[in-house]
Amino acid sequence: GRSIGDYGLPWRRAFRGHFWQGALWGVAEISFVVLLIAGVGGYFLGPLAGGSRIFFSAASWLAVFLVVGLAEEYTFRGYLLKTLAAGMGFWPAAILLSLVFGAVHIRNPGETPIGLVTVVLVGMFFCLTVRRTGDLWFAVGAHAAHDFGQAFVYSVPNSGTLIRDPLFGSTLTGPAWLTGGAAGPEGSVLELAVLGLVFALFAALYRREGRDSPRMPG
């Protein structure tokens, strides 16, 4: 008898303030990581893709990553988080689901141990955004924008997967622990450092818990 809004996706807030704030954070985070990798000589942009097909590719991948963001956030930080938090508290549930979130990425081609740690920490960050903003829209925006920026704009592996028809013919060179290697930038130790900064900035800027947040104890 509950609506989707009860689990973190109120449609009256769809694609409004929190979503675009999250998208900005997602783009900024992956851009900073790629910039750091480029700064140590591990990333080269490569040639720009030509032809009108690139516009279709951009729209298609944007839609794909938006659907991925909606599906994964609603599953791990929406329904399951609220349901488990009712019995075990918010943060224990957040930790458990973030570990599960990391585990489902194990079979991704090219995934690495650092990449899996990053996925778990990203899951924790998205849980924090739910706690502070009151809904999933910030997390959806950040998730979709990060994946789109990594896979299409910067044209590097995303969780170990290279997409078809990215924007550039980019390359990663150097030790995998520094560049991310086959996992993409999320497998870089620089990603872990940037995530620490992202956690600190978000916690400082979004101090109050969302007034309309799912009423989850913890």
Q: What is the pLDDT of residues 72-98, one digit of tens each?
A: 999 999 999 999 999 999 999 999 999
Provide the pLDDT for residue 217.
Answer: 38
φ/ψ of residue 205, rounded to 5: -85, -30
pTM score of the predicted model: 0.90
152's tokens: 């299409």
Q: What pLDDT shows up at residue 209?
A: 62
- Tell me, what's the pLDDT at 207? 85
Distances (CA, A) of 42 to 49, 143, 155, 170, 185: 21, 24, 14, 11, 10
> What is the rounded average pLDDT for all residues in the chain?
91
Residue 11 or 148, more confident: 148
What band does 3 get if pLDDT is binned at 50, 70 and 90?
confident
pLDDT band for position 210 (cuts 50, 70, 90): low
d(CA 104, CA 10): 26
Exposure class string for 109-131: b at 16+ Cβ within 10 A, else e? ebbbebbbbbbbbbbbbbbbbbb
